[in-house]
Amino acid sequence: MTTLTRERRELQAFSASVSADAARSLDLLRDIEITLAWLNRLTGMLRADAEFAESANADLGATACPIDPDDAIQDALENAQREVKALYEILIDKRQAGRDDRRLTEDDGIEAAYTEAIAQAADLHNAINALRWNIGEHDIDAAPQPKGPIYAADDVDALFDDLLGR
């Protein structure tokens, strides 16, 4: 094999290697951009949902009657909380996968974007929890109060005396 033939093969291998690395790098950059766009959109939605829950929470006092007499809203909010918690856990796992990926650097912004989305998911979970709690308290306070005497648990004799008209 002549020197010229060997050099041509080396140059062809070098060209193929550079092309493959560049294509892989372009794919990685495209994946980073897609991930960042998705995380930014998700973070914005989580933030808007948390703001809505906080606003709804602030408006509870405007209603004098019970808001959720059949607990349907409580059930729906509890389900939403479970879903947000599941999302929160997935985001933590994905952030860790990004940390473990040696192709990514801090400058790529993936970890920071995941951290922001995780924080927003936690804020939404907490806002829903506060809303659930406050709806429950509001409904207890807004419920009709019983008429007549209220007896302590140890006043069973007094209760029976009143019931029997003694």
Give the pLDDT score at 64. Answer: 87
In a domain, 126, yes or no: yes
Residue 117 lies in a domain: yes
pTM for the model stands at 0.74
Contacts of 123 (CB under 8 A, 6+ apart): 46, 47, 50
67 pLDDT above the threshold of 80: yes
Residue 9 lies in a domain: no
Q: Is 135 a member of any domain?
A: yes
**Which of 10-24, 57-71, 127-141 is most confident?**
127-141
For the ranges 28-32, 136-140, 155-159, the lowest mean pLDDT is seen at 155-159
How many structural domains comprise the chain? 1
Cα dihedral 35, 94, 76, 56 sign: negative
Domain housing 90: 70-143
Residue 5 domain-assigned (yes or no): no
Phi, psi of 107 (to 5 degrees): -65, -20
- What mean pLDDT do residues 141-153 have? 70
Q: What is the pLDDT of residue 148?
A: 63
